[in-house]
Structure 1
Amino acid sequence: MLKYSQLHKSGTRNILTTIRTLSSTRMVEMKYSLQDEVAKVQEWWATERFKDITRPYSALDVVKHRGSLGASNVAYPSSVQAQKLFKLVNTSFKERTPLHTLGVIDPVQMTQLAKCDDLKVAYVSGWACSSTMVGSTNEVSPDFGDYPYDTVPNQVERIFKAQQMHDRKSFLDTIEKKAQPVDYLKPIIADADMGHGGPTTVMKLAKLFAEKGAAAIHLEDQLPGGKRCGHLGGAVLVPTSTHLARLVATRLQWDIMGVENMVIARTDSCNSKLISSSCDPRDHEFIQGITNVGIEAWSEILVDLESSNATSSTIGAAEIEWYNSNKLVTFDQAVEEQLSTEEFKQYMSEKAKLKSTLQRNYVSLREMRSIAQTVAPSKAVHFDWDLPRSPEGYYMFEGGMKAAMRRSLVFSPYADMIWLETKTPDLAQAQQFSREIHSTYPNTKLVYNLSPSFNWLKQGFSPEQLKSFIWDLAKEGFVLQLVSLAGLHVDGVSFWELANSFQTDGMAAYVDLVQQKERDIGCDLLTHQRWSGAEYVDSVMKVVQNGSSSKTLSTSGESFTETQF
């Protein structure tokens, strides 16, 4: 590089010539570097990891948004964990065995899960975070997704850092005590809710999860602000295209970062009754309207009632009366009601032909109206999906397996796994879903929520069926299975049992229910100082102080009470 004094002496003309030469050289260097980086990304995408993934953007799109630092100079441990998870998922899918686990809510539960060799992954629930620790606000609440969007990533970071600490402790024990190693680094799957906003928010959220240690996240097709736990009423879906954009945004963010983290596309359409917009024709067959003519929209009636200061009970009764008087139907159901049986059969046949001709599994409302008009030119099918819309503008939606399968087929090429959220644990339903998805995408791995929201004792399972349910699901390709809130429930059950007994039995309750039980089952929390890593820190201090700290070590001498055990 020429110094300024040298350039100054050469004169203005020479300065400009030199700058042009340097700029040209730099551009050539950048061109070759850009080509090399694009080639590396293309080679990366061609690996086994991404062979089933579709991207609507190019490798150049990724490279030009990375910045000059690039991806090769930044390492994310979560990507290493994701590679581990990918191998586990693939192995389980090929063998049709479950990768089942329990949701954990703190580092204590994580360490106990880690000692179970057959539980190879960990799960962090948004529901649990919403109800037990809500980041900067400290406002616990139901699972409405209304907490700061960094809440679950911060919980992941807490769990992941604990995993790393206990891994270091175990590694040291393996070297110095010849102890059996424990795999504390179980890949973390985390709940990303609905993404908490538009594509840029989704990208920021995905970046946080990758930075903080999540090997995988799941995103559900619900609306920010209309989000509910999948087992509550009132959930609002977003159009299929909106959720697809979230999956693409997540993948792009991780491609820019150069990580292999996995994204799970979850659909709540099996249970949902509302959708935020009718903009996507892939949703049209499931949006409901009414067939009555000359009806005033419910939203207009509501405004009039509110303007007249009607009581809440009056408004509630009026709403029930309106929807009872105006049955909700899809367009297909409206056609069936208003045309003859033969005309309806012809309508369905022409509809199937159009789908085949267009090579797609959906038709729009416009196309359905056109078919109905062709089949019965002298009749007009009355159908209005705007009149029953909610005060927020949401459309009525016929949720169910058909909608869930339709959406999941759209999401499958863009996701690493597909999650079907259900109302009940139903093996026959799971088989139907699996066979529909795998008929088009045979390599799609599936996810199942073994939810504590289900009353498992009332589902008709025999003891043998209940025990085999997880393994039966795995045979259908439901590889990842999780009891999402297991940590929350066991925390409540065990502490309630202790607290309830402690109030009358004092230390006898503690010894019987905790300390003796820890001893009997070999729980390492019996010696909680050692569990926390005190010996590991002592070992580090020996190195720092060149072995001269033997008198002040925290785990030596008569002051260390755990020598009693």
Structure 2
Amino acid sequence: MSLKWANTRKEIEAFEAEVTSIEAWWQTDRQKHIARPYSARSIAALRNIGFKQEYASSTQGRKLWRILNEHNAKGTYELTFGTTEPLIAKEMAQAMQTVYVSGALYLVPSVVKRIFNTQLFHDQRQTQLRMRYDEADRDSLECIDYMLPIVADCDMGFGTLTGCMKTVRSFVESGVAMIHIDDLAMGLKKFTNGEGRTIIPMCEYLDRLKTVRMTFDIMGADTMLLCRCDSDNAEFISSVLDPRDHPYVLGATKSVQSFVAAINAGKESGKAYLAVKEDWKTTAGLKTFDEAVKAVATDEQYRQYVAEVANQVVALPQRRTIARNATGQVVFFDWELPRTPHGQYMWQWSMQQVIDRAVLAAPLGDVTWSRQDKPNKKDMHDFHMGVRAVYPDRLFAFGFIGAYDFSKGGYSPDELQTFHSDIAREYGIVWQVQPIWATQGLSLHARQFARAFVQEGMAGYMRDVARPAIESMHTDKYGKPTARGGYLADAFFDVVAGREITSEK
């Protein structure tokens, strides 16, 4: 057996050096804005001291950090779209600075790895090609930065601490530059049955973000963390564990049968689920506790109640006591009656609640994103200015769905033309993405081509695909395509044979 340390003194010295190194790293421009709930000593104790690994994810994370901060300083933005195809990601380098990857969580780290490896290949191919030519000839060759930072969807991070750690580690090892993680509930991410989102308690969301940050720190990675908040228009919450969420939980203000009982009765009578839900909510007098108090209190009594609960965290039991003292009566409010068959509590979202969540999450991450599937002017303004009131230099991200009519959000055609630059300049939304091109755009183009190919065959293919592709292809001075692997394969053979592959000085 070989010993790792010659003696405990050597071990202590190595550990203290690791602690000092971590503390110095946390003071760099890239890291100093992060507020960590743990010490450098704790992170050092979780590292492989004496066996340092460097991750490409750190390099790409620092690169993305520079890109986004440069945009923020200039009031400009990066606009990109989602893909899972390495070839498409390679072509994106012609016009964009980043690549977005989303989809099934189990697959995303492996997709990121495939795209990152493709980026490495094309960067390698381009480098050796350019080195074959003298300086004058290189001006006619491609000089593209293929190493676009990859931003990936980490979804809910698998929720559990260890599951989240494993997922994050896989992303870092894949070469990702930034991941985003949200506050949606595990196993309840459904949007196709006419219902809204189910979010998790604030404390659980913060624990997810802390877990991501801890994993980055253990790995020594400068990978970026995008805190995505999905509570905008959320309809349910998975638990009432956190008193910070209590003001927004809905309860029945009338003594009625439970929502689950109403659903079961509706099934027996053949009544549609959504109709049962709306009828039950009306019958139950669904309200937040504050609304329930207001409904039974005089104006003076309600002012007294609000004065005692405002601007502080007050759990429901304490709210009940304050309300009873103010009104002289017990306010009927039952948040158990509205629970769904899956155990969710009903939730009343508000923009202030979304802002509060984003503000609490901000110190753990680098960028903030409030998911607004139907962005209207007021919500866009209120959210971003609300967060910026606390963090004036905050970097923001925003994602656009493919089916939203912006005119319904109050935007004129002229405003839509300058929409991207306006929200970058006014709110600091420096990273903007259309996530679903990977399915929507690619499916559309494939479907259109399939129909055209059946109708016109190779004649149509040559006209619409092959000829334009050939005409747009980069070639060297001999007319040979440069974007293929032939040059790189030739270089390998030449080097093995001892032949020089660079131009003479």
Normalised by the length of structure 1, the TM-score is: 0.81
1:464 CA drift (Å)? 2.7
Aligned-residue offset at 1:340:
1.9
Aligned partner of 1:415 among 336, 360, 365 = 365
Gaps of 5+ in 1: 4-21, 131-148, 549-565
Q: What are the superposed Cα offsets for residues 371-405 of structure 1, whole Å, 9 maximum, x if unpaired? A: 222322x2221111111100111100112322211
Which residue does the alignment assign to 2:486? 534
Residue 344, structure 1, aligned to residue 302, structure 2: yes
CA distance in 2, matches of 1:464, 1:298: 47
Q: Which residue, 274, 299, 308 being the options, matches 2:260?
A: 299
> Do the aligned residues in 1 keep the contact of 2:157 with 2:208 (CA within 8 Å)?
yes
C-alpha deviation, 1:320, in angstroms? 4.5
- In the alignment, the residues of structure 2 paired with residue 405 and residue 332 of structure 1 have an alpha-carbon distance, to the nearest angstrom, of 19
Q: CA deviation at 1:424?
A: 1.3
Distance in 2, matches of 1:473 and 1:42, equals: 36
TM normalised by structure 2 equals 0.90
SS in 2 for 1:169: helix
Q: For residues 404 and 440 of structure 1, what CA distance do their matches in structure 2 show?
A: 14
Q: Deviations over 1:90-135 (max 9, x none)?
A: 111222211221112211211111011xx21111112xxx4xxxxx
- In structure 2, the residue matched to 1:259 is 221
Could you say which residue in structure 1 is the equivalent of 2:503? none
The aligned amino acid for 2:144 is: V
Corresponding residue for residue 150 of structure 2: 188
Q: Deviations over 1:308-361 (max 9, x none)?
A: x83654777655532331132111111121112332233223322xx3xxxx4x
Task: Return the offset for 1:369.
Answer: 1.9
Indicate the residue corresponding to 2:67 in structure 1: 88
2:318 corresponds to: 367
- Give how far 1:301 is off: 4.9
Distance 1:392 1:156, change over 3 A: same
1:112-151 counterparts in 2 under 5 A? 112-116=91-95, 119-126=96-103, 130=104, 149-151=105-107
Match in the other structure for 1:330: 288
Aligned to 1:44: 25
Contact 1:239–1:283 (CA under 8 A) maintained in structure 2? yes
Partners of 1:311 and 1:516 lie apart in 2 by 63
Take 2:480 and 2:309, find their aligned partners in 1: how far apart are those partners? Answer: 67
Over residues 447-482 of structure 1, what are the superposed CA-to-partner deviations in whole Å (9 max), with x where a residue is unaligned?
A: 111221423465554333222111111121111111
Structure 2 counterpart of 1:251, one-letter code: R
Matches of 2:209 and 2:199, distance apart in 1: 15
Aligned partner of 2:382: which letter?
Q
Task: Describe how 1:515-526 pairs up with structure 2 within 5 A.
Answer: 515-519=466-470, 522-523=472-473
Equivalent of 1:79 in 49, 58, 71: 58
- Aligned with 1:218: secondary structure? strand
Equivalent AA in structure 2 for residue 274 of structure 1? F
Q: Cα deviations across residues 30-76 of structure 1 (Å, max 9, x unaligned)?
A: 11211111011011111111121111111111111113444xx2111
Which one of 424, 428, 446 corresponds to residue 378 of structure 2? Answer: 428
* 1:499 equivalent in structure 2: 450
Q: Which residue of 2 aligns with 1:137?
A: none
In the comparison of the two structures, how many residue pairs are matched?
491
Residue 491 and residue 302 in structure 1: after superposition, are their counterparts in 2 closer, same or farther (change >3 A)? closer
Counterpart for residue 202 of structure 1? 164
Q: Answer yes or no: is the 8 Å Cα contact 2:250–2:346 preserved in 1.
A: yes
Q: Is the 8 Å Cα contact of residues 498 and 509 (structure 1) preserved in structure 2?
A: no
The 5 Å alignment of 1:164-313 reads 164-177=120-133, 178=138, 179-228=141-190, 233-293=195-255, 295-302=256-263, 305=265, 310=268, 313=271
Greater shift in the superposed pair: 74-83 or 85-94:
85-94
Give the Cα–Cα distance (whole angstroms) in 1 for the partners of residues 30 and 374 of structure 2.
33
Q: Which amino acid aligns with 2:94?
A: K
Instruction: Look up the match of 1:490.
Output: 441
Q: Tell me the alpha carbon deviations over residues 402-454 of structure 1, each in whole angstroms, 9 at most, x when there is no partner.
A: 22111111101111111110031334322211111111122321111122142
- Could you tell me how far apart the structure 2 residues matched to 1:542 and 1:29 are? 48
Cα distance in 1 for residues equivalent to 2:309 and 2:117: 55
8 A contact 1:109–1:487 mirrored in 2: no
Structure 2 residue aligned with 1:106: 85
- Which residue of structure 2 aligns with residue 562 of structure 1? none
Q: 1:315 to 1:247 in 2, by over 3 A?
A: closer
1:532/1:460 CA distance change after superposition, 3 Å: farther
Judged with a 3 Å threshold, the aligned counterparts in structure 2 of structure 1 residues 69 and 299 are, in CA distance, closer, same or farther, namely: farther
Provide the rounded CA distance (Å) in 1 between the counterparts of 2:4 and 2:464: 75
Amino acid at match of 1:233: E
Q: Percent identical across equivalent pairs?
A: 30
C-alpha displacement of 1:25? 6.8
Q: Which amino acid aligns with 2:200?
A: V
Amino acid at match of 1:296: Q
Give the alignment partner of residue 451 of structure 1, picking from 394, 401, 404: 401
Separation in 2, partners of 1:315, 1:265: 34
The aligned runs of 1:149-164 (5 Å cut-off) are 149-164=105-120
What residue identity is the alignment partner of 1:498? F
How far has the Cα of 1:544 moved from its partner? 2.0
Question: Residues 231 and 272 (structure 1 numbering): CA distance in 2 closer, same or farther, change over 3 Å?
Answer: farther
Please give the alpha-carbon distance, in whole angstroms, between the structure 1 residues aligned to 2:193 and 2:37: 33
CA distance in 2: counterparts of 1:346 and 1:212, whole angstroms: 56
Residue 254 of structure 2 contacts residue 284 of structure 2 at CA under 8 Å; is this kept in 1?
yes
Contact 2:398 2:432 in 1 (8 A): yes
Which fold has the larger relative contact order, with Cα–Cα distance below 8 Å and residues 6 or more apart in sequence?
Answer: 2
- Cα distance in 2 between the residues matched to 1:171 and 1:102: 27
**What does 1:380-399 correspond to in 2, within 5 Å?**
380-399=330-349
Q: Which amino acid aligns with 1:465?
A: E
Q: CA contact under 8 A between 2:252 and 2:338: conserved in structure 1? A: yes
Deviation at 1:200, TM superposition (A): 0.8
Secondary structure in 1 matching 2:323: helix
Q: Distance in 2 between matches of 1:415 and 1:492?
A: 34
User: Matches of residues 433-444 of structure 1 in structure 2 within 5 Å?
Assistant: 433-444=383-394
